Amino acid sequence: MKKIFTSVLFCASIFFYAQTGSLSGNINDDAKIALPGAKISLNPGNIYTTSDEHGNFVFLNVPPGTYTMKIDYLGYGVHEYNVTVEPEKNTRQNIVFDKKENSIAEIVVSGATLKNQARALNKQKNNANITNVISSDQIGRFPDANIGDALKRVPGVTIQNDQGEARNLIIRGLAPNLNSVTLNGDRIPSAEGDNRNVQMDLIPSDMISTIEVNKTLTPDMDADAIGGSVNLITRASPNGQRISATLAGGYSPIREKGNYTAGFVYGNRFLNKKLGAVFSFSYNNNNFGSDNIEPVWSLANDAAQTAYISKMGVRYYNEHRIRHSFDLNMDYEFNSKNKIYASAMYNFRNDKETRYALGYKIKPVYNADETEITDWKGSITRQNKGGDASNDNTRLEKQKVQNYALRGEHLLGSKVDLDWSMNYAIASEDKPHQRYIEFENSKMNFSQNLSDPENPVITPLAADNLGSYKLSDLSDANSFTQEKEFGAKVNVRFPFSVIEDQKGRLRTGFRMRLKEKERENDFYAFQPISNMGSLLSVPTVYLDGHNFQAGNYIPGTFVDPAYLGGLDLFNQGLFNGKSKPEKFLSSNYTAKEQIYAGYIRWDQDFNDKLSMIVGARVETTKIDYTGNYVMNEKDLVGQINNTNTYTNVLPNLSFKYVPVQDLILRAAFTTALARPNYYSLVPYLNVISEDEIVAAGNPNLKAT
């Protein structure tokens, strides 16, 4: 024991008092764009590191002397440079690769289109954990309008679609709420009210330089990512002027309309190369639609238990989706040891939707002893979903995500590397004045042709007279959800190796996340003071089924969206409006979460082939949720507040083995967590005394 203690003191004295230096720099290609994931080694000695997403690298605790610095980069070959490290000083070495290899293991590299692919492969090859990396040029090879569409090309990643575009992320088969999404390492909040999902169709694909899909975690990463973590990396400032502009168009045959996309990038360095800046802009305008049928099958009570369609919807959607995105990234280099970064990104997406829904409700008519079906009777509804005139008479859904960040990187002497960051992010979803209007013909007889179960045919036996349709529903609803998050973290890294002549690093740090979320919904039902008449009495539109994708169906006649949008519903001289608390009161809430984390991570090389990462992360979560106490769905009794605190200890162990140059084997044991969805934790209480029903949230749910 005495010998071990003496050895530790000896190692500590060498670390703190030995006269060593540091070496840092930046690697760029001939277009002055950073090269991340490069492997840089110093000879003699077994000292190496990799460049980060900005192309920066640093060697700590380097003995003074002259070295050969070797840089190995896929697609560019191996380059060597002579460098001299002086005691107690930082040597700066900036590298520009101006010559590429012509081939990589029989794969020909041609032109600039594969440069970013080489960046992605290098980063994926040299990352410590199990990752997949996508570069911007790989995204640009496909018509991927958003990040979700690009991600679905990654092995082990599946995407849930909404209106034909990728939205919810599934990694390794695990649900969207079990994954996390970050922007330059900072968390992106969720704009949805019930869950923690980040909608991947909100961010345009051309605003991102690199996408990292982390399928295993290391202790320095946020722990709430059981399935995995996706890190979106924006463009870094180039080392010289860069201007890029794109313009594209397309055609959507389902609605026979055009689609438009534009992008612009400008980057440069100023103030004698100390200040770098890159600005990006993206615009996407997409007109499309979707058609579907929604049959509900039931079994009749006759002797044969006949299968029939009890409900069926024929739905026709018009969708107009507009995405804007702005991004500004800046960096300022005070000297070779101190650099700060500032970034701001603003994304918003407007969904303007009009939906026409033809609905059938059908019941069988039996003979006297109820052994046979003699007829089918029921009703037909014709419903519009839209919005008021200020929203172009459409159901508008506005989603916004903003992220503002400040980061710093510092060399403290020659042995300690420190970085820190602060960020503030806001995500919101606003659905103003979403309106429904429905007319119903309640006395109809039908026949059913179910010979093709995938295309059932419902036919009214009498003429579908528009004069028989009476107003059955008229409503206006608002929904607003907002989540804010402030985050801060600091990390310290220094050399620590228990094996002589082998690289070892010890990292430790602290992380704080303060989150607030609220949801405010309302709902009003209306009755016209004067009789609105029948469907024949109001302006209408007719959908003849042209190009209907779900089969040979004719949706028919519906209220004109402009008429619905122009109704002055809140004019008490024209309409009687009534709030419907049962539609929203128990769903409104406020939530606060505080997450504090600390970690320790040790990277150790055993030899030039085998390396290890071991460590643990401790996260403490404090929640403060407030929900509504509701009687009989409509009477607000008061509010219920609940707090809870829990702590998770999460160990991690990873190995990386490189038996030959072009083969890497990885193994990992990692632990992570998933906090329950927001609404699952809300302490709401809805007591329906007449039906003897109590609905309640569960604020004591534990993290998975």
What are the pLDDT digits (tens) for 29-51? 777 777 888 888 888 877 888 88
Residue in this structure with the two tokens 């779900």, named with its chain if needed: 550
pLDDT of residue 203: 86
Among candidate residues 519, 195, 560, the one with its CA nearest the CA of residue 394: 560
Segment 588-613 mean pLDDT: 94
pLDDT of residue 299: 95
Is the pLDDT score of 8 beyond 90? no
pLDDT digits (tens, 9 = 90+) for 641-686: 999 999 999 999 999 999 987 789 999 999 999 999 999 999 999 8
- Give the residue with greater pLDDT, 597 vs 167: 597
CA distance 337 to 97: 23
CA distance 357 to 313: 6
Segment 625-638 mean pLDDT: 89
CA distance 202 to 195: 16
Is the pLDDT score of 76 beyond 80? no
- Give the residue with greater pLDDT, 539 vs 415: 539
Q: Is there a contact between 48 and 29 (Cβ–Cβ < 8 Å)?
A: no
- Give the residue with greater pLDDT, 85 vs 420: 420
pLDDT grade for 73, boundaries at 50, 70 and 90 = confident
pLDDT digits (tens, 9 = 90+) for 552-565: 999 999 999 999 99
CA distances from 298 to 133, 273, 363, 453 (A): 48, 72, 10, 13
CA distance 318 to 394: 9
Is the pLDDT score of 308 beyond 90? yes
Highest mean pLDDT of the ranges 108-117, 570-579, 632-641: 570-579
Residue 544 CA neighbour count, 13 Å, CB half: 1
pLDDT of residue 20: 85
pTM over 0.75: yes
**Which residues, 6 or more positions from 199, have their beta carbon under 8 angstroms from its beta carbon?**
167, 168, 190, 191, 192, 399
pLDDT of residue 485: 96
pLDDT grade for 550, boundaries at 50, 70 and 90 = very high
Q: What CATH topology corresponds to 242-696?
A: Maltoporin; Chain A (2.40.170)
Is the pLDDT score of 702 beyond 60? yes
CA distance 483 to 191: 7
CA distances from 461 to 446, 448, 544 (A): 5, 10, 20
- Could you say which DSSP state residue 703 is in? P
Is the pLDDT score of 5 beyond 50? no
Segment 529-548 mean pLDDT: 93
When mean pLDDT is compared across 99-103, 184-188, 239-243, 539-543, the lowest value belongs to 99-103
- Which DSSP string do the residues of 91-157 spell out, in sequence order? EEEEEEE----SEETTEEP-SGGGHHHHHHHHHHHH-SS-EEEEEHHHHHTTT--BHHHHHTTSTTE
When the candidates are 2.60.40.1120, 2.120.10.30, 3.30.70.120, 3.40.50.300, the CATH number that belongs to 2-107 is: 2.60.40.1120
Per-domain residue ranges for the chain? 2-107, 242-696
What is the sign of the dihedral through the CA atoms of 678, 682, 688 and 694?
positive
- Give the residue with greater pLDDT, 265 vs 691: 265
pLDDT of residue 456: 94
Beta strands 685-688; 107-108: pairing state:
unpaired
pLDDT of residue 17: 46
CA distances from 210 to 139, 140, 160, 233, 245 (A): 9, 12, 22, 5, 18
Segment 369-385 mean pLDDT: 93
CA distances from 212 to 138, 151, 414, 423, 656 (A): 13, 10, 30, 20, 18
Structure tokens at 536: 């024949």
Among candidate residues 186, 181, 185, 216, the one with its CA nearest the CA of residue 201: 181
Structure tokens at 232: 């979106």
Highest mean pLDDT of the ranges 12-21, 280-289, 631-640: 280-289
Q: Which residues face 264 on adjacent strands? A: 245, 281
Burial of 454 (0-12, 13-18, 19+ CB in 10 A): exposed
- Give the residue with greater pLDDT, 453 vs 110: 453
Among candidate residues 355, 354, 523, the one with its CA nearest the CA of residue 432: 523
pLDDT of residue 41: 86
- Give the residue with greater pLDDT, 692 vs 10: 692
- Give the residue with greater pLDDT, 690 vs 5: 690
CA distance 174 to 225: 10
Structure tokens at 449: 């042709």
Among candidate residues 565, 557, 555, 553, the one with its CA nearest the CA of residue 541: 557
pLDDT of residue 21: 86
Q: What percent of the chain has pLDDT over 70?
A: 94
